[in-house]
Structure 1
Amino acid sequence: MLMETLTSEEFEKLKRETKTVVIPVGSVEAHGPHLPLATDLYTIYEVCKLVAEKIRVVIAPPLYYGLCRSTKPLPGTLSLKGEILKAMLLNIISEFYRYGFKNFFILSGHAGGTHGAYLIDTAETFIEMHKDVKFFVADIYKLLKPVLDELNIPENDSHAGEWETSLILYFKPELVKEGAFEDYPTFPKFRVVAEKEKYWSSGIWGNPLKASKEKGKILAEKLVEILVKEIELLEKEV
């Protein structure tokens, strides 16, 4: 159930029925001329809402912000420092733990590598302090990789491209604008560069022109199926 919609009494009842919390994490980040800045939040949060229809868990109010490196120079991107992201999540998780929750799913719509590393480090830090908890940490891109193969979407279509645009067309079609184009940027291998916009100015990494609402529906349903299965597996573990 969506925690933000519950009354205090309803939350008190729900915490006796489940020990599992799903924490959706997004980012506010440039996604080309055609997708909204909150794309990463919208995709994962809408999927989480569907998960809540299938299995009794708490869907925490989402965290809009994440850590963005490659897109930070682009208009509209708002990036948290990694230490702040970790501190916020540790605080949120600690509060749920105080209520007796023991199973934590940190699900990110943003697939940035450094961002993801901080999410994992958050789980590692908390589990060192509390041995009685379990964590599942994943981003939407990694979860979808097997499904992308089935739909013949190339693995390097990773940002505001075919699959991400398809999900927004399915969940929030009114927010998809004109102007999409194919782009596969190239960064110098093994280099850390200061002026990232020289190598990636579009905010697109893939081909959004191949996106469709129908593909978005398939992707969303597969994600829900995967996540429900993972929740059931984790809850059965002793």
Structure 2
Amino acid sequence: MNTFTETTNTASTWGLYEQMRPQEIEAIQEKTPIAYLPWGAIEYHGNHNPTGLDSIKAFNLCKDLAEKNGGLVFPVVNLAANLIKSYPGVNFPKHSIEFSENLIRLVCEEYLEQLVAQGFKIVVLLSGHAGEPHLTILKTVAEEFNNKYPDKRFWALAEFDILPNDLLVANHSAIGETSLQLFYAPETVDLETLPKDRLITLELDAVSGDDPRLATIALGEQIVTSFVKNGSIIIEELKQKYL
């Protein structure tokens, strides 16, 4: 598995919440009360990618942000609505675990309330799944919490929200997501399962976006580098205002 290697801010400390003892958590939180909440999905991503792609991507991007900016990374929330299994015009009923939009809203509300109670002042909610209205629900709840707790900041996003369109756009198991997966967990990707003699389609291959056969580790690294750079600028601005 590749890890992002840009020089980190050694003055910051970070950690994986569920792997730390209370005193370790509190030491980090006292210095940098930022929570990173990766929000994933168990969803069919074709034969060439794992069902946990959204979760793997969200967790690792959060981890890279935390290493750069400090804070605590929470376990992935593997709950998602609006998966490919219910997308009109396609027939991929297996390998996706789908939940209701109402449940997504409820879990998000309760999770953010718990993070408030735990004393976090900035919450970064990164959704690896961009199905709609799943993503909009998370962003809406975050904005409601910004209004409810004006002394704190809740930032919900998908990775492509802070990247130029010529680098990454919303896609499903296409070149962008596949390149990220190749960067973070190349052993889970098998491009040889994709057909070589025809166009890649949503209906046949569960791919929405540009051809995943062109995916590379180098492109994945470029996406990660740009994401961490742009995300860190925003987090630094939030630190100045809310910490």
Tell me what 1:202 maps to: 205
Aligned to 1:98: 117
CA distance in 1, matches of 2:231, 2:81: 23
Q: Does the aligned pair in 1 maintain the 2:125–2:154 contact within 8 Å?
A: yes
Amino acid at match of 1:97: V
* 1:171-202 deviation per Cα after TM superposition (whole angstroms, max 9, x unaligned): 111111232255354xxxxxxxxxxxxxx353
- The aligned counterpart of 1:10 is 24
Give the deviation of 1:103 after TM superposition: 1.2
Q: Unaligned stretches of 5+ in structure 1?
A: 186-199
Residue 211 (structure 1) shift: 0.4
SS class of match (2:115): helix
- Listed as ranges, the gaps of 5+ residues in structure 2 are 1-14
CA drift of 1:110 comes to 0.9
Task: Provide the aligned length of Structure 1 versus Structure 2.
Answer: 218
Q: How far off its partner does 1:28 sit? A: 0.9
Distance in 2, Cα, partners of 1:54 & 1:65: 27
Q: Do the aligned partners of 2:83 and 2:96 also contact (CA within 8 Å) in 1?
A: no
2 CA distance for matches of 1:222 and 1:131?
29
Matches within 5 A, 1:121-136: 121-136=140-155
Aligned to 1:217: 221
Q: Corresponding residue for 2:9?
A: none
Seq. identity, %: 26
TM-score, normalised with respect to structure 1: 0.84
Residue-by-residue CA offset, 1:7-37 (whole Å, 9 max, x unaligned)? 1111122221122211110111111110000
Q: CA RMSD in A?
A: 1.9
Task: Supply the AA of the counterpart residue of 1:203.
Answer: A
Amino acid paired to 1:165 = T
In structure 1, the partner of 2:184 is 171
| 1:71 counterpart SS class | helix
Match of 2:129 in 1: 110
Please list every run of at least 4 consecutive aligned residues from structure 1 whose deviation after the TM superposition is greater than 6 angstroms.
none
In 2: Cα distance, 1:67 partner to 1:220 partner: 25
Instruction: Kindly provide the CA deviation profile for residues 96-146 of structure 1, in whole angstroms up to 9, marking residues without a partner as x.
Output: 2112112111111111121111102221333343332212111123333x0
Name 1:60's counterpart in structure 2. 74
Q: TM-score, normalised by structure 2?
A: 0.82
Q: Which of these residues, 46, 49, 54, is aligned with residue 60 of structure 2?
A: 46
Once the two structures are TM-superposed, the CA of residue 61 in structure 1 deviates from its matched residue by 1.5
